[in-house]
C-alpha cells in the first residue's frame, strides 16, 4: 500500500482491525441516493470506499439507497453507475439496492414491534415536529406509544396492505423522547407513500427511512467499515442502537470523515437541481457543473480527479479546499498526457505573397514524448492566425505581429507583415505578408524575433465550434451569508467562438484531451463529436487567470 495513503486515519483503522484479526478483509460500500447526479464531493467518497477495498484486498459494494421513490429515477441510477466506472472503479458482485432488502427490512420492523421497541404513531408531520422538542427541551411522547404490541403489529400490517392514506401513520422506534441526541427521540422507521418505485413497482406503499435502512443493509451485506461524511456523526448512536436491538451478531461500524468543500463550487443536490431546472445551465452534465457527468464532459481526466482526491487527504476536520488545487492536478496531468495541436479561435486571414509552393512540415505531438510521433502540417499561401496576435497600435511590450514587424510561425518560417487591409469598421480583415524562406527550422544570426504565434492552413483547416468555459461562480463562497447563490453566477462562464482547427484534430479518439498551443487544454464534446462542425470544450486555460478572489 502507498505510504501516503497509509497515513489517513481511516486506513489506519482498517489496518489495525486487520492486524487484530477482526476480519479477513474489509468490505466497504458506496451508497448514493438516486435522486440526482453525483458531484465532485461524491468523488472523494468513491475514491475512499473503493480505494480502501483495493488497498487491503477487500471488496466494495455498489448499493443504491432507494428508499424515497418520490425523488428517484432510473436516469439517476444509470448516470451514477456510469460515473463510478468512468472514475476507474468496479464494484464487487452485482449492483445492489436497498429495495433488494425491503422484505427483510419489513421483517426486522415487525421484530422491533414484537420486542416493544417500535410503535405506530398517528401524529401528522407538523405535530410530530412540535412533539420532538428542541436542543434544550425534551420531547413529548406520542399517544401511540401507549398502544399494545398486538395493536401496533396489526396497524403496521394494515399500513403495508395499503389501507391508509399517505401521512396517516408512521412507524417509530421506541427509544427516549428525552435523549440529548434528537436523532434518538423515537425516530421514524417507516412512512406511508402510495407511489410506484423504480425497482419494485407498486408492490410497496410503505417505505423505510434512511436511518433504518442504512445499518441493516450494511449488516445484510457484511459491511465491515461503513464510511460516512460528518453530518452522519449524530446518527451513529441510532445506527448502533438498531443493530444492538436486533441482536446483529457481527455488527458493522460507522466511521465519519469530512466532506469535500470546494471554493467557487456548490455541492448541494437541491441547489444544483435549481440551476438545472431554472435554466441557469444546460443540464446536469453542463461542463460548468460540478457533477461528475459535467466534469467528464468538460474533459477533466478521471486520473486527475483521483489524484486531487488523494492529495486533499482524509480527515475529520471540515475545511474549504481551494479550487486552484484541482486546477493544478488537472494541468499537471494534461501537461504530460495531452498531444499538442493548433487551433485559431478568432481567425484573421493572412496571405503570403512569396511562398512558391505549399510546404509540408512535421511537428511533434508532444515535445517530451518523441515516441508519440509527429503530425503533418501544411502551410500554403493562405493561413489563419488569431486576431489577438495582431495589433495596428500595439501596447508597450507587445511581442506579436504589427505592421512592418516579424514573428515566428510556430514550427515554420519567420513571417513579416507587409501591409494590411481593413474593413468598413476599421478592423483588420487581411494581412499581406512574406516569409523568410531560409528560416524553416533555422534561427538566422544577428536577428532576434521575440514573438511566436500559432496558425492553421486556410486550405486544410476545418471549422469547429469552441466553447470557452470558466468558473460558474465569480464568488469563492457563493452560499455565504445565506444570499441567493444565483446572484454570484459568472456571466462569462461560457463564451462560444467559431474557430479553425488543424485537420489532425478530426482523428482524435473520443474524450482525448489535447493542448491547443498557446490557448489551453481542450476536448471534443463527447455528445457532439464528429459532426460536420465538431464542438470542443475548454478544459482549462494554460495558466490561472483568477489572480484575486472576487466576492
Each residue's pLDDT tens digit in the chain (551 positions)?
544 445 799 999 999 999 999 999 999 999 999 999 999 999 999 999 999 999 999 999 999 999 999 999 999 999 999 999 999 999 999 999 999 999 999 999 999 999 999 999 999 999 999 999 999 999 999 999 999 999 999 999 999 999 999 999 999 999 999 999 999 999 999 999 999 999 999 999 999 999 999 999 999 999 999 999 999 999 999 999 999 999 999 999 999 999 999 999 999 999 999 999 999 999 999 999 999 999 999 999 999 999 999 999 999 998 899 999 999 999 999 999 999 999 999 999 999 999 999 999 999 999 999 999 999 999 999 999 999 999 999 999 899 999 999 999 999 999 999 999 999 999 999 999 999 999 998 887 778 888 999 999 999 999 999 999 999 999 999 988 777 999 999 999 999 999 999 999 988 888 899 999 999 999 999 887 666 678 999 999 998 876 544 33
Instruction: Tell me the backbone φ, ψ of residue 359, rounded to 5 degrees.
Output: -120, 135
Contact assessment for residue 426 and residue 392, using Cβ atoms and an 8 Å cutoff: no
Which among 5, 33, 253, 462 is annotated as catalytic?
A: 33
CATH number of 343-458: 2.40.240.10
Q: Where are the beta strands (DSSP E) in 201-243?
A: 206-208, 225-229
Chain-centroid distance of CA 135 in Å reads: 36
β-pairing, 494-501 with 513-516? unpaired
Residue 527 has a pLDDT of 83
CATH 3.90.800.10 residue ranges in the chain?
A: 96-208
Contact assessment for residue 64 and residue 32, using Cβ atoms and an 8 Å cutoff: yes
Which among 11, 174, 185, 269 is annotated as catalytic?
A: 269
In the chain, % helix, strand, coil (3-state, to 5) comes to: 35, 25, 45
Residue 2 has a pLDDT of 47
Residue 550 has a pLDDT of 37
What's the fold here for domain 96-208? Answer: 3.90.800
In 3D space, the residue among 378, 381, 419, 375 whose CA is nearest the CA of residue 401 turns out to be: 419
CATH 2.40.240.10 residue ranges in the chain?
A: 269-299+464-540, 343-458
Catalytic annotation present for 259: yes
Which pairs with CB-CB distance under 8 Å and at least 24 residues apart come from 295-299? 295/40, 296/83, 296/86, 296/511, 296/526, 297/525, 297/526, 297/527, 297/537, 298/469, 298/523, 298/537, 298/539, 299/511, 299/513, 299/521, 299/522, 299/523, 299/537, 299/539
Q: Say which CATH architecture domain 1-94+213-258 belongs to.
A: 3-Layer(aba) Sandwich (3.40)
Other Cβ atoms less than 10 A from the Cβ of 234: the count is 13
What's the fold here for domain 269-299+464-540? Answer: Ribosomal Protein L25; Chain P (2.40.240)
3 state DSSP class of 311? helix
Residue 4 has a pLDDT of 46
**CA angle, corner 491, sides to 488 and 496, nearest 5?**
150
Separation CA 521–CA 136 (nearest Å): 55
3 state DSSP class of 10? helix
Catalytic annotation present for 54: no
Which among 259, 351, 387, 400 is annotated as catalytic?
A: 259
Residue 479 has a pLDDT of 87
Residue 529 has a pLDDT of 66
Counted residue by residue, the chain has a size of: 551
C-alpha cell at 385: 492566425
Residue 3 has a pLDDT of 45
Catalytic annotation present for 33: yes
1 CB-near residues (< 8 Å, 6+ apart): 11, 55, 56
Amino acid at each position: 500500500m502507498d505510504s501516503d495513503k497509509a497515513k489517513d486515519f481511516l486506513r489506519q483503522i482498517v489496518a489495525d482491525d486487520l492486524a487484530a484479526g477482526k476480519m479477513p478483509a474489509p468490505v466497504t460500500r458506496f451508497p448514493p441516493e438516486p435522486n440526482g447526479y453525483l458531484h465532485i464531493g461524491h468523488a472523494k467518497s468513491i475514491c475512499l470506499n473503493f480505494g480502501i477495498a483495493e488497498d487491503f484486498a477487500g471488496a466494495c459494494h455498489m448499493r443504491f439507497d432507494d428508499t424515497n421513490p418520490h425523488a428517484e429515477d432510473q436516469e439517476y441510477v444509470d448516470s451514477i453507475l456510469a460515473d463510478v466506472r468512468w472514475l476507474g472503479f468496479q464494484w464487487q458482485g452485482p449492483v445492489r439496492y436497498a429495495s433488494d432488502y425491503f422484505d427483510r427490512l419489513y421483517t426486522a420492523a415487525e421484530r422491533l414491534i414484537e420486542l416493544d421497541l417500535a410503535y405506530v404513531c398517528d401524529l401528522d408531520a407538523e405535530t410530530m415536529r412540535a412533539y420532538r422538542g428542541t436542543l434544550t427541551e425534551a420531547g413529548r411522547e406520542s399517544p401511540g406509544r401507549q398502544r399494545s404490541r398486538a395493536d401496533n403489529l396489526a396497524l403496521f400490517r394494515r399500513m403495508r396492505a395499503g389501507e391508509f392514506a399517505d401521512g396517516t401513520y408512521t412507524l417509530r422506534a421506541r427509544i427516549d423522547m428525552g435523549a440529548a441526541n434528537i436523532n434518538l427521540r423515537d425516530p421514524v422507521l417507516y412512512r406511508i407513500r402510495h407511489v410506484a418505485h423504480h425497482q419494485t413497482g407498486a408492490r410497496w406503499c410503505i417505505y423505510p427511512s434512511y436511518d433504518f435502512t442504512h445499518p441493516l443493509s450494511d449488516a445484510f451485506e457484511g459491511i465491515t467499515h461503513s464510511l460516512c461524511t460528518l453530518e452522519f456523526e449524530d446518527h451513529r448512536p441510532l445506527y448502533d442502537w438498531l443493530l444492538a436491538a436486533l441482536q446483529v451478531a457481527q455488527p458493522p461500524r460507522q466511521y465519519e470523515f469530512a466532506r469535500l468543500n470546494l471554493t467557487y463550487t456548490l455541492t448541494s443536490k437541491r441547489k444544483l437541481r435549481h440551476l438545472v431546472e431554472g435554466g441557469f445551465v444546460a443540464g446536469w452534465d453542463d461542463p460548468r457543473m460540478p457533477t461528475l457527468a459535467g466534469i467528464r464532459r468538460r474533459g477533466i481526466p478521471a486520473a486527475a480527479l483521483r489524484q486531487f482526491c488523494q492529495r486533499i487527504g482524509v480527515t475529520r476536520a471540515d475545511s474549504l479546499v481551494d479550487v486552484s488545487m484541482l486546477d493544478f492536478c488537472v494541468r499537471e496531468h494534461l501537461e504530460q498526457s495531452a498531444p499538442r495541436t493548433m487551433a485559431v479561435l478568432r481567425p484573421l486571414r493572412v496571405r503570403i505573397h512569396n511562398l512558391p509552393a505549399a510546404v509540408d512540415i512535421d511537428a511533434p505531438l508532444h515535445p517530451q514524448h518523441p515516441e508519440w510521433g509527429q503530425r503533418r502540417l501544411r502551410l500554403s499561401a493562405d493561413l489563419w492566425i488569431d486576431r489577438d496576435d495582431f495589433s495596428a497600435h500595439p501596447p508597450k511590450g507587445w511581442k506579436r505581429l504589427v505592421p512592418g514587424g516579424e514573428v515566428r510561425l510556430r514550427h515554420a518560417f519567420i513571417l513579416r507583415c507587409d501591409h494590411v487591409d481593413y474593413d468598413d469598421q476599421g478592423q483588420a480583415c487581411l494581412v499581406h505578408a512574406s516569409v523568410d524562406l531560409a528560416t524553416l527550422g533555422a534561427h538566422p544570426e544577428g536577428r532576434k524575433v521575440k514573438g511566436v504565434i500559432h496558425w492553421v492552413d486556410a486550405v486544410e483547416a476545418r471549422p469547429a465550434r469552441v466553447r470557452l468555459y470558466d468558473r460558474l461562480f465569480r464568488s469563492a463562497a457563493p452560499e455565504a451569508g445565506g444570499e441567493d447563490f444565483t446572484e454570484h453566477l459568472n456571466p462569462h462562464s461560457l463564451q462560444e467562438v467559431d474557430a479553425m482547427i488543424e485537420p489532425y484534430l478530426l482523428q482524435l479518439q473520443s474524450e482525448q484531451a489535447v493542448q491547443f498551443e498557446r490557448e489551453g487544454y481542450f476536448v471534443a464534446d463527447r455528445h457532439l463529436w464528429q459532426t460536420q462542425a465538431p464542438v470542443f470544450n475548454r478544459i482549462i486555460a494554460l495558466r490561472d487567470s483568477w489572480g484575486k478572489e472576487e466576492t
